[in-house]
Every structure is written in structure tokens, then in C-alpha cells.
Structure 1
């Protein structure tokens, strides 16, 4: 081995060790889904033969299909609306730049420092006054506009060539036509990065749906998992299987858009 190769060994060893630590919770979750509750509590690290029984117990204890369906409804709707609203806002902040918009953007960034727990009660009272408690709109609406996504699209829009916009205007395109026909196809990587972030956040959201959804018939997967662990006796094999099922959609979305996600984040940073 050359001297250059030997110099890389500590770095690769460091990355290998921390990769193992990072993947171990996922491995334990998958293995736990195949074991009994006793084996999970005993930290058994080998796969078992209890997967089918755990699935039968999970289906008997909770309506998994309904929870997965509602989680998908909330997450997909939130993602689509958030991409539309935040991309238009970020595009407007950068393309129609002014000092007033910079001040407004600064106010939005300050809003990121306010914890959600501080706004949760006013939000609940507002939706209660509109009669929207226990509805999908109450889950989706607070998440369709976030300062982080607006900032992400604004930073990415700085690399968008303004000459294309001027040329499109000379060709007679309206502003919305420029946005939908030119801007969106050009900024696909940014949209992919924003979609991954928004979908994973919406899919894993627990606190706000727990507060605003009073009926377990419209519960999400995080709420279902919380209910499984809230009894006097918890079947940890069933709980691990539920966590595994709840993790799969977010993992699939991230792996499918991984390359575009990296490009979108890099472009926003630049």
C-alpha cells in the first residue's frame, strides 16, 4: 500500500465505525419486528420467527391501513401545497427584489426562532373557532408555508438567470407562465430537496396532529405508535413492526430523491 493510501485508513475507519453506529438503530428495529416482546427487551440481535404473529397482533390491535392512508393524505397534501406556496414566495422575494422584501424576509427568519409549542394553543383556538378541529385542513394548513422553505427557494433563485425572464417577457409570456413553464423545470433539484424535507417532516409530525385530531379514526402512524405504547402492557415486537412500517414511506421518498436532494441543498448553499 502506498503512503497516500495509508493516510486514508484512519478516515475510512472513522467513517466505518460511525456508519455502524448510525445503522444500528435501523437494524435493531428490523430485527425487533421479527422477535417477541421478551426477545426485544432482552436486546436480541438475531432475527426471529415472530414476524407473521406480530403483524397479526398489530392488525388486530389497530387500524394500520387507515393510519397509513391518513398519514399519506396529510403528508402528500402538505408537500404539494408547501412546494407551491413557498416556491412562489421565494421566487417573488428574489426576482422582485427590494429593501422592503429584505425586511419582511428578516421578520420571517425571526419567526423560525419561535418554538411551535408557543403558537400551538393560539392555533388550536383559531381552528376551533372556525370549526375545523378534527379535520384534515387543520393538520395541513399550518405547514404549507415555512420560513425555511421560503429561504431555500429564495437562495436557489439567486442562481436563476434573470436574462431568461426578460427574454420570456419579450416573447409575451405572463409571470405565472414564466414561473410554471420555465422556473419550475429549471429548479427541479431544489423542488426535490424541498419535497424530501417537507414530506419527511409532515409524515413524522406527531405533536400537532395529536392536539388537533381528537378522533382516533383519523389518526396518523405516529399517533398509532404512541397509542400502542400507552397501555399497561406493551408488546415491543408489535411496536417495532409498527415503527418499521411507519418508517418505510419516508425512507423510500428519501432514497428515490437522494441525488436531487443533495444537488438542491448544495445549490441553495451556493
Structure 2
């Protein structure tokens, strides 16, 4: 009976693994095939990889799109970690009834879909464009600013701060460390796993962001990698081999970051739910 149960468990795990890995396998294999082979569902590697690379470079400015996405994702991640961790730290360490009310209001904002905010956001940035064009519509800053922080990220840091040893703060105060010094010199180094998990979540979300950049970025020079892939697929006769190659290239940065930080990611996520 135990052996049958073990076989069943391993069978389910194998099937689940195949289902999870297959899209990545098909994506990589398709990047080496012709468009007609991708359409027919060919599952064997082809010999068209270098042709697809040549066509991709000749068709779109993928280097500029990758640079734009990198600037947006890195800037958003750094600013989001700083702002959200300061907010989560403040809500937990300096608790009061008024702060709890504000925090609950922030949590309620998570129920509002982003699509409902796009029109007022676009109008706001349209007004900003008249005053400060450098952060107005059709700038990378207009993508970064609305996503600097989220209610989820503040909640994430506050939940992890509950496990932070408060004795370290008391010891720091006794040594004459300022309140900002406590945050930067004690809190941040101690909570590095939380920062790593938050960095992965924020970077991946920013890198793959499609809807808001589609609305606010209007010139090809500011195009991000998701918008570039979308434009490749919207042509009259899309080359699916080239599209799959672009998707592989777009997937590599987030995959590498996750693999390098996965140990910290798991530790940070587990810490948030204890």
C-alpha cells in the first residue's frame, strides 16, 4: 500500500513537472525553427536559430527595448524596496491606532483593479507633461512613478518586520544610533532575505509590465520588451520563430535573477507567513 502511494505521488509530481516545463521547452525549441515549423507544433530543434537572430535584429531595436526595460525595472525595484520597507518598518515599529487605520485603508486599495486607475493616471500625467515634460507622458519616468510601491509590498515588509528582533533596536538606541541609522545600519542588513524576495517580485512585475507602458509610452524609442514582443505578434504575417526568440531573450534576465536569489526568495517568503 505504501509503495502504491509512493508511486502515485511520484507519478503526479512527474506529470506536474512535465506540464510546467513544456512551455519553456517549446519556447526554446521554437526559437531554432522556421515560422511554419512552429505553427505545426514541431518539438525538435531546428537549424534556423541564426536566421531568426538576423531577422530579429533587422526587424526591431531589441537592444533599445531591453535597455528601456532594464532601466525601468532596476529603478522601480530600488525605489520600491526603499519606500515600501520604510513604510512597513514605520507601521510595525512605531505602531499606533491612527497608523493601523491608515494601513487598513492601504490594504483596501489592493481591491481596486489597475485598469480602473489608468484613466485618472493618464490624465494626471497629461497635466504633469505641461509642467515637467521630463516625467510626463512618453517618458520612462511615467512608467516608474506609479509603480514605485504597492500596498502588497508595504504589507509584505510589515509582516516580515513582526519577526524582526526588537532588542537590536533598543541596543542601537542605547549606543546613540539615530532612528534612520537604526533602519539603514541594523534593519536592512538583518532583513536581507526579505529584501531579496521583494526584489525578485518587484523586478519581475516591472520587467513584465505591459498594460500601463502600452498606454503611456507612445514613441518607438521608449518601447519596452513586452511592447516589442506584442508588436512582433501583431504584424500581418508574424514570424513565430522570431517571436519565440524574442521571448527567450526577454525571459533570460528574470530567470537568472530568480535562480541566483532563489535561496533568499524562499527564506523571505517563508518569513512573511510564519
State the TM-score bracket (shorter-chain normalisation).
Answer: over 0.9
Q: Distance in 2 between matches of 1:7 and 1:119?
A: 50
Match of 2:76 in 1: 78
**Secondary structure at 1:269's aligned position in 2?**
coil
Of 154, 158, 166, 2:158 maps to: 154
Are residue 123 (structure 1) and residue 121 (structure 2) matched? yes
Match of 1:224 in 2: 228
Of 178, 182, 188, 1:178 maps to: 182
Match of 1:18 in 2: 16
Of 90, 93, 113, 2:91 maps to: 93
Q: Distance in 2 between matches of 1:185 and 1:227?
A: 42
Q: CA RMSD for the aligned pairs? A: 0.9
Aligned positions, number? 268
**Secondary structure at 2:33's aligned position in 1?**
coil
Match of 2:40 in 1: 42
Match of 2:192 in 1: 188
**Secondary structure at 1:257's aligned position in 2?**
helix
Of 239, 244, 248, 1:244 maps to: 248
Match of 2:7 in 1: 9
TM-score by length of 1: 0.98
TM-score by length of 2: 0.96
Cα deviation code 1:134-186 (max 9, x no counterpart) = 11110101111100010000000001111111110111000111101100010
**Secondary structure at 1:23's aligned position in 2?**
helix
Residue ranges of structure 2 left out of the alignment (5+ in a row): 130-135
* 1:7 positional shift: 3.1
Of 234, 246, 257, 1:253 maps to: 257
**Secondary structure at 2:117's aligned position in 1?**
helix
Residue ranges of structure 1 left out of the alignment (5+ in a row): none
Q: Distance in 1 between matches of 2:137 and 2:252?
A: 29
Cα deviation code 1:218-251 (max 9, x no counterpart) = 1000000011111111000000000111111011
Larger mean CA deviation between 32-41 and 157-166 belongs to 157-166
* Runs ≥4 residues deviating over 6 A: none
